[in-house]
């Protein structure tokens, strides 16, 4: 009964006119950036973050969340129609979705993606509503030692799930943690790594790092390697799948939803991992494995359901533990903090309208996405005709204006340029910037809880091993690190993300 009361509170918040409006704006922008290759939800959320600071906290978070899960929808549209995934998790959808389009079945593929995404999003929202409160109650029992071990586990698991070299991912996390220590010491106030720059005494600005590493760096990379885009798409017909299609997609949608809901909580690229795992499972259990890669509708239904379910459940560790599962969630942590809210188990009791309003808005957003995606297919594809040389300078301009408007400090704009160039150099060296951002966000939390635990234990480091929950979390962290180094696991990771690259 309590759950129903909470959901009623959530819908009463989410259905306020301004919240519905910004939810619509969020999913619309999310769909657009999902369609356009090279921008992505991380860069978009990073660059729109400054604009939301004048909003009410719940309105800002509803809009930013809409951008994220809206991008999961949008990425499938161009993957199916022109074999060019707009979002990384849609790469596997292109394998069979585009083959269906080539055989005149684009309508069935798009409808399958939309229906699968809606069902998965709805189920995952229910999972979030049911699972979050008990997890938050458990998290309230965590002390500093447990939180230190939990954050460490999250960082190491993100290494195991990162693309490319695990060693490079570890180096990026270490660099992020190091950047997070810049500024005054949290206990003594002693300046650290400020190099006599007064602007660094308060630490490096989170928005400047996010916009530079994910906005400017990605734009530079895409301008260097602009892909030829063809948007010649005939009118899509027969949007509703046939009776045989409907029979074949039920199982993949349910299995994909379950996989996505489970894998979405993992640090790193949970939504990407979910879509590839779903495809592998469907191909393995299918009675017609030879059809995969040649237009199997199961190859669209499973992965699309998985990545959308994962997009919703990735909010579970954020809302219950205050830990981001991936870069977009790290940006959401920044949004919480800027609005004066500490993400974690206390949000559900201190800000119930925000907590349940955000959850309810996800269902509303999923309904809006179904209504948006199928009727406006032609509009999304026409967006691909906008030249990068026109689109990207406008994006950088608005990002710079938004960042400058936060504190009216030109130093923040210079920081965007610095981190944009740094991010570009790191990408050219084969290093992903995502682990760096996770390290930057979680580093201060790691340090604070480590030092607090040591102060309570009078400097005894065994406190991390003598407390049972902390010891179990540390053991899992060691196991994840060993697993990431094993040759078999390393080869599977490389195969898993080959299509994404």
Q: How far is CA 237 from CA 94, 104, 106, 170, 241, in A?
A: 19, 8, 8, 48, 11
- Residue 368's contacts (CB-CB under 8 Å, 6 or more residues apart) are 23, 24, 27
**How far is it, in rounded angstroms, from Cα 209 to Cα 310?**
26
Q: Read off the pLDDT of residues 43-83 as tens digits, 9 standing for 90 and up.
A: 778 777 877 888 889 999 999 999 888 887 777 877 787 76
Angle subtended at Cα 260 by Cα 257 and Cα 263, rounded to the nearest 5 degrees = 150
Q: Provide the whole-model pTM.
A: 0.74
Is residue 498 predicted with pLDDT exceeding 60? no
**DSSP string of 436-452, one letter each residue:** HHHHHHHHHHHHHHHHH
Total number of residues shown for the chain: 501
Is residue 453 predicted with pLDDT exceeding 70? yes
Q: How far is CA 454 from CA 114, 136, 449, 467, 478, in A?
A: 51, 25, 8, 13, 21
What does the block give as tokens for 401? 């204006």
The pLDDT of 405-412, averaged and rounded, is: 76
- How close are the terminal C-alpha atoms of the chain, in Å? 47
Q: Read off the pLDDT of residues 156-199 as tens digits, 9 standing for 90 and up.
A: 877 766 666 778 888 999 999 999 899 888 888 889 988 888 88
Q: Are the beta carbons of 436 and 175 closer than 8 angstroms? A: yes
- Helix residue ranges per DSSP H, 344-458: 347-350, 352-373, 377-383, 388-407, 410-428, 434-456
What are the residue ranges spanned by the domains of the chain?
2-500
pLDDT band at 268 (very low <50, low <70, confident <90, very high): low
Residue 18's pLDDT is 93
């Amino acid at each position: 009964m309590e759950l129903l009361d909470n959901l009623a509170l959530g819908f009463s918040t989410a259905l306020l006119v301004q919240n519905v409006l910004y939810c619509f704006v969020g999913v619309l922008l999310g769909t657009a950036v999902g369609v356009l290759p090279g921008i992505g939800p991380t860069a978009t959320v990073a660059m729109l973050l400054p604009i939301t600071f004048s909003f009410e906290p719940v309105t800002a978070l509803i809009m930013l969340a809409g951008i994220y899960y809206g991008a999961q929808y949008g990425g499938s549209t161009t993957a199916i129609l022109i074999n060019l995934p707009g979002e990384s998790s849609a790469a596997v959808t292109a394998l069979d979705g585009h083959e269906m389009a080539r055989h005149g079945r684009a309508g069935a593929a798009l409808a399958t993606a939309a229906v699968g995404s809606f069902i998965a999003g709805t189920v995952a929202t229910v999972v979030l509503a049911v699972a979050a409160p008990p997890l938050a109650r458990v998290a309230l029992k965590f002390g500093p030692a447990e939180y230190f071990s939990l954050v460490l586990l999250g960082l190491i698991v993100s290494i195991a799930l990162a693309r490319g070299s695990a060693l490079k991912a570890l180096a990026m996390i270490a660099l992020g943690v190091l950047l997070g220590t810049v500024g005054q010491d949290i206990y003594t106030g002693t300046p650290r790594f400020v190099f006599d720059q007064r602007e660094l005494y308060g630490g490096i600005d989170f928005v400047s790092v996010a916009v530079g590493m994910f906005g400017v760096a990605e734009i530079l990379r895409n301008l260097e390697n602009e892909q030829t885009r063809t948007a010649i798409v005939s009118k899509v017909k027969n949007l509703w799948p046939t009776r045989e299609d409907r029979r074949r997609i039920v199982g993949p949608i349910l299995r994909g939803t379950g996989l996505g809901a489970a894998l979405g909580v993992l640090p790193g690229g949970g939504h990407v991992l979910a879509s590839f795992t779903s495809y592998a499972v469907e191909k393995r259990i299918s009675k017609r494995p030879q059809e995969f890669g040649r237009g199997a509708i199961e190859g669209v239904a499973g992965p699309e359901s998985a990545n959308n379910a994962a997009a919703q459940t990735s909010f579970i560790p954020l809302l219950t533990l205050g830990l981001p599962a991936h870069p977009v969630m790290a940006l959401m942590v920044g949004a919480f903090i800027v609005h004066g809210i500490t993400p974690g188990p206390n949000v559900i009791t201190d800000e119930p309208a925000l907590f349940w309003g955000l959850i309810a808005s996800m269902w509303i957003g999923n309904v809006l996405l179904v209504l948006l995606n199928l009727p406006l297919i032609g509009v999304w594809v026409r967006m691909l005709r906008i030249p990068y040389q026109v689109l990207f300078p406008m994006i950088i301009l608005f990002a710079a204006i938004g960042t400058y408007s936060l504190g009216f400090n030109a130093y923040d704009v210079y920081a965007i340029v610095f981190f944009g160039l740094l991010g570009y150099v790191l990408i050219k060296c084969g290093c992903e910037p995502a682990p760096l951002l996770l390290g930057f966000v979680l580093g201060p939390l790691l340090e604070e809880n480590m030092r607090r635990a040591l102060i309570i234990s009078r400097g005894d480091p065994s406190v991390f091993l003598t407390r049972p929950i902390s010891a179990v979390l540390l053991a899992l962290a060691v196991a994840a690190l060993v697993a990431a180094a094993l040759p078999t696991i390393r080869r599977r990771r490389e195969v898993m993300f080959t299509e994404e690259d």
